[in-house]
Amino acid sequence: MGRVNPLNRLKENYGSVRELGYGKGESVKIVLDMCYCRLRFHVAPEEYLMYNFMNLKDRYRRYFLINRYQHNLYRRVKNSDGRYAFKGNQYDTLKDFVGREYIWVDKVGFEELKEFAMSREKVLFKPNYGSCGRGIFVFESSAGEAALLEAYNSIAGKKYLCEEYVIQHSALARLHSGSVNTVRVLTLCDGKQNKILAATLRMGCEGHVCDNLSDDGIGAAVDVETGIICTFGRDFAGRKYACHPVSGTQIIGFNLPHWQAAKEMINDAAMRMSSHFAILGWDVAFTEERPVFIEFNGSPGSRIIQIFDQKPKGEEIMKYIKKYGKRKKKRR
Amino acid sequence: MFNAFELAYLQSRDSVFLIKKNGIKGLEAVKIFFDCFYCRIKFHCKPKEYFFYEFYNLSDRERKNYLLVYEQRIGYLYITKPGYRLSNKMAMLEAFSDIAARKWLDVSTASAEELAEFVNTCGRIVLKPDCASQGRGVLSVTAPCTVEQAAALLRQTKGEVYIAEEYIKQCAEMARLCPTSVNTTRILSFNDGSGARIIGAGLRTGNGGICDNMSAGGIGAEIDVETGIVCSVGVDFEKRHYMHHPVSGTQIIGFKIPFWQQAKETVLAAANTIPDCAVVGWDIAYGENGPIFVELNNNPGNKLIQSSSGKPAGAEIKAYIKQNKKKYPENYRALKKHRHKYY
């Protein structure tokens, strides 16, 4: 990528502030404030506008988790060699929370995959290493062996997992039946006890298998205590939804099923991982019987956790890192 | 009315008390103490409001859009026609009898027999002081009522003008929230001369008592004006949060107000009939057949609409007040002297 002329960047920012309806003088002030926030809090202009930083004081701003800086922050309390970046390793470690069968496609041959996939109605192919819902596809056994072979060939040489398709709770299917709707939970574990800091429900939208927000999904904040959706749904484009645009089910006030069980499950699992990670983002789905573990992220995205209720979630994390984190490496 | 020294004393006393109460210490406490003073001078914001709306987290750009007690007491007076204030409930009911959907009786002129008969025909009545607000002095009387009992009531209410109203039978959906009180919505309308529009709305429910006023212990929550869905958790004046109603257990957030579109239309139509009042807070109850007018407020409180969602609602109104300060010179002259002297 070529270098961006900083002046052009300022002009761009000025334009996007003007679009929000601020006057000329006010917009200049906000653009200057953006530069200040970039230096002080590492906030990108998009995030500045996303969290409405122009309306906040530094006292409040400092506790927002910032996308650009989170890796630096989390790295200081991480003690992992990177093996848990692979979803297969996560499944192997937390086997009793997964609640479904899975195989490593690259470790077994086509015959075993065929046996696994054809004996089930629907299976999900997932890259072992990846994010934002990239490379995920669903295979239905009704499509036949030839289609399976084609799929197998298309992912040959790549690390892939094949797992049973999660059949979600009927209440969540009412929101959007086309995708498995999951909850992202942010936890902080100090080795003695685990604390759930925030939770967000993600729903898919028209024609998407994934519920990832980067894939046109809709999200809404969950009240951690009760498991009730406590904000409007919204997407990354900033559209607000009181009801889901496809199904028409009311989002705000929706009660998540098995929420207390899910909290217990996450607390257990986080304690088990506490020697490697202090801060984790958990993806949890809900079947008719129980909550099931989908995956965890060692450096969870900050936007999905903060954008819906516009509240900073970093206060405890930052205090924890200040107290226990490894020292920053000096830049060379 | 206070002089500058008294005001400064009251201001510092309250801010120190609240800083201690919120557990703020050290340099931060000093900064907030001076910030309180700054907000008082710039935005007429009392220390109590400073902490209630969490002004310490907000920049001036956001702070200036909050509707505060100053607007309620002084600001709205600038843009209300002199002499045009519907502060007594009887006049309101007469003006909007078509949407009030209930009977009422002036207790101050009624005899004991008339009152007893009124109670017995209505089944249940509410006695309210004609000019009070915030749910003060409200009594509820249920039939049967003898002449002696009515005479005792008259003696009890002597000295103040009371009005007896038929008890509003709310619909089952609203009674689900809190069955002991009539649960209403407060809708804030704003008319700048180009037609009324709705600025914000809040739900008020009682907390076991007969009043739903927040100042009488009730719980408030914000309503999304577009859809009529309660979009925030319930909150009371002590800033306690309620996901579910403490009395009935009904979930507050996500609650759908019945007849919402009808209620909005009713309010807009009514607000257009009194263009001399720019900002009006309408209390609307919900019966089996649709919305019922309870009363209106010329100087509506702002906490209900702004507290639970944490978003200011006053950008338009404050800009209008600023532009139209001299709209009624009589008001302007009267307020100019005293506007800085209230606490």
State the best of A49, A58, A228 to mutate against chain B, taking most chain B CBs within 10 Å: A228
Judge whether residue B193 has pLDDT over 70.
Answer: yes
DSSP-derived secondary structure letter, A193:
-
Nearest CB to B57 within list A57, A250, A255 = A57
- Among chain A, residues having any CB pair with chain B shorter than 8 Å are 26, 54-57, 59-60, 223, 225-226, 228-232, 242-243, 250, 252-255
| Contact between chains at A232 and B224 (C-beta distance less than 8 A) | yes
Nearest residue in chain B measured CA to CA from A231: B231
pLDDT digits (tens, 9 = 90+) for A167-200: 889 999 998 888 888 899 999 988 888 999 999 9
Residue owning tokens 């006890």: A193
| Mean pLDDT (whole number) for B178-196 | 88
Amino acid at A229: I
For range A271-292, the mean pLDDT: 89
Residue A31 confidence class, pLDDT cut points 50, 70, 90: very high
Task: Report the Cα–Cα distance between both ends of chain A, in Å, rounded.
Answer: 23
- Say whether B224 and A242 touch across the interface (CB within 8 A): yes
Q: Do A252 and B61 touch (CB under 8 A)?
A: no
Burial of B140 (0-12, 13-18, 19+ CB in 10 A): middle
Q: Is the pLDDT of residue A26 over 90?
A: yes
B224 interaction partners in chain A (CB closer than 8 Å): 232, 242
Q: Considering only CB atoms, which residues of chain B are within 8 Å of chain A?
A: 28, 56-59, 61-62, 224, 226-227, 229-233, 243-244, 251, 253-256
The per-residue pLDDT for range B52-82, each reduced to its tens digit, is: 888 999 999 999 999 998 888 888 888 888 7
In whole angstroms, how far apart are CA B34 and each of A84, B15, B37, B41, B211? 50, 9, 5, 11, 38
The residue of A31, A52, A230, A310 whose CB has the most chain B CBs within 10 angstroms, and thus the best one to mutate to test that interface, is: A230
Does A314 have pLDDT greater than 80?
Answer: yes
How does pLDDT run across A1-23, given as a tens digit for each residue? Answer: 567 788 888 999 999 999 998 99
A253 interaction partners in chain B (CB closer than 8 Å) = 229-230, 251, 253-255
- Average of per-residue pLDDT across A42-46: 90
Cα–Cα dist A171/A183, whole Å: 14
Which ipTM value was assigned to this complex? 0.81
Across the interface, whether the CB atoms of B229 and A57 are under 8 A apart is answered: no
Sheet holding B290-297, edge to edge: B241-242, B234-235, B219-223, B196-205, B184-191, B279-287, B290-297
From B63, which residue of chain A is nearest by alpha-carbon distance?
A55
B294–chain A nearest CA distance, Å:
28
Averaged pLDDT, B249-273: 91
pLDDT at position B50 is 92
For Cα atoms A175, A183, A298, give the angle at the middle one, nearest 5 degrees.
155
Distance from CA of A248 to the nearest CA of B (A): 13
User: Which class for B26: exposed (0-12), middle (13-18), buried (19 or more C-beta within 10 A)?
Assistant: exposed
Nearest to A250 among B57, B59, B254 (CB): B254
Q: Is the pLDDT of residue A113 over 90?
A: no
